[in-house]
Structure 1
Amino acid sequence: MIARLTGKLAETGTETCVLDVSGVGYLVHCSARTLEKIGDVGGHVMLLTEMQVREDSMTLFGFSSAAEKAHFTALTGVQGVGGRVALAILSALTPDELVQAVSSGDKAMVARANGVGPKLALRIVNELAGKLGDPSLAGGMAGAAPRGSHAADALSALANLGFKPAEASRAVKAAQDELGADAGLDALVRTALKKAAK
């Protein structure tokens, strides 16, 4: 499977971009937020990716952050939520807003996304409850912690090691509580790994 692509941005559309990687153009489906972040055509881009293989198609989805990818994976685990619907939700809500909506049971907020009716929004809120992380820490994965902060970087590191968003959030929060707000990134990651292993 393709986990990441790095190359030159060749084209952008309303829901897709084409990334030129050593002369091969990859069509990648992205949220509106990711398309805004990747910049102008001709620029150098790195996207985290997930490939969905179906009987009749192979589709590549791209993400600008580990948080967005983790939330996409969680969303597509809900019955009735395919890749396109998950991207619509991630276009309508930031990762922080999604965590807040799920943690507070706000199905109306989730239903703001194109293609998400009240029944599907309720199912998403119910099935993802407790799975997206602690809303008090970086929106579960990103958002409240400043981008580039040690907490956000530690969350990203744990996500890259395969921890689920909720596990990563709990571990980093526990590490922050133990070490204090001024803890360095290395110490935070090491302590979070110990907390996650318990």
Structure 2
Amino acid sequence: MIGRLRGVLAEVEADHCLIDCSGVGYVVFCGARTLQRLPAPGDEATLQIESTFNAESGPRLYGFLTRDERRAFLTLNGIQGVGPKAALSVLDVLPPGELAAAVAREDKAAVARANGVGPKLALRIVTELKGKPLGDASFTPSGPGVQSDLAPPAPSVTGEAVSALLGLGVAEVNARRAVDQALIRLGDEADLSAVIRAALQELGR
């Protein structure tokens, strides 16, 4: 089973990309948010991979830039009525941390913004995600990494690093892409200063 792919980004299409790993091209299906944050074609890309098999479509690879996104996809995909396409749609509008916060608030409307997710399915997602872990966060108001409505969540390293780059005049889309690539290189446990330095290096390439 493939857990990660690292290679040259050969193509980017509407719902998938092609990663060339030593001459072998892997078709990887991704959400729109992930595809927008990929490097330019011809550059090296690293994706966390989840493999699935469907009797109709056969084996498929789904790609994510972080482990938390992959975990969230797995959790969502395990809910009745939520297939891979709907799970990717939810993560397009609500990254893992924001999804956890929406579930904690019981904000069904936020989940229902996802393409193909109606009010009933959004309610099921919010109901079933409560108490389920997602990396350092949990889909419950009392879980670690999620605060109640009375207090905003603590800033993430990603958010603070992006804000720092925005303060330097970097466009938001470029800042987020550089920070994402920096976290892929350094790992999710990297401290803020290291992430900012690595992101600046990415921007300078």
Q: TM-score, normalised by structure 2?
A: 0.68
Identity among equivalent positions (%) equals 46
Aligned-residue CA RMSD (Å): 3.0
Alignment gaps of 5+ in structure 2: 148-153, 161-182, 190-205
CA–CA distance in 2 between the matches of 1:121 and 1:128? Answer: 11
> Within 5 A, what are the aligned runs for 1:30-179?
30-56=30-56, 57-131=58-132, 132=134, 133-134=137-138, 144-147=155-158, 156=188
Q: Are the equivalent residues in 2 in contact too, given 1:15–1:29 (CA < 8 A)? A: yes
Alignment CA distance shift 1:7-1:148 (3 Å): farther
SS at match of 2:158: coil
- Corresponding residue for 2:8? 8
Q: Are the equivalent residues in 1 in contact too, given 2:104–2:146 (CA < 8 A)? A: no
Alignment CA distance shift 1:139-1:39 (3 Å): farther
CA–CA distance in 2 between the matches of 1:70 and 1:144? Answer: 21
Alignment CA distance shift 1:144-1:66 (3 Å): farther
User: How far 1:156 moved relative to its partner?
Assistant: 4.5
User: How far 1:72 moved relative to its partner?
Assistant: 0.4
- List structure 1 segments (4+ residues) > 6 angstroms apart after TM superposition: none
Q: How many residues are treated as equivalent by the alignment?
A: 155
Opposite residue 101 of structure 1, the aligned amino acid is A
Alignment gaps of 5+ in structure 1: 158-198
- Corresponding residue for 2:179? none
- Corresponding residue for 1:18? 18
Q: TM-score, normalised by structure 1?
A: 0.70
CA–CA distance in 1 between the matches of 2:14 and 2:146? Answer: 27
SS at match of 1:147: helix
User: How far 1:144 moved relative to its partner?
Assistant: 3.4
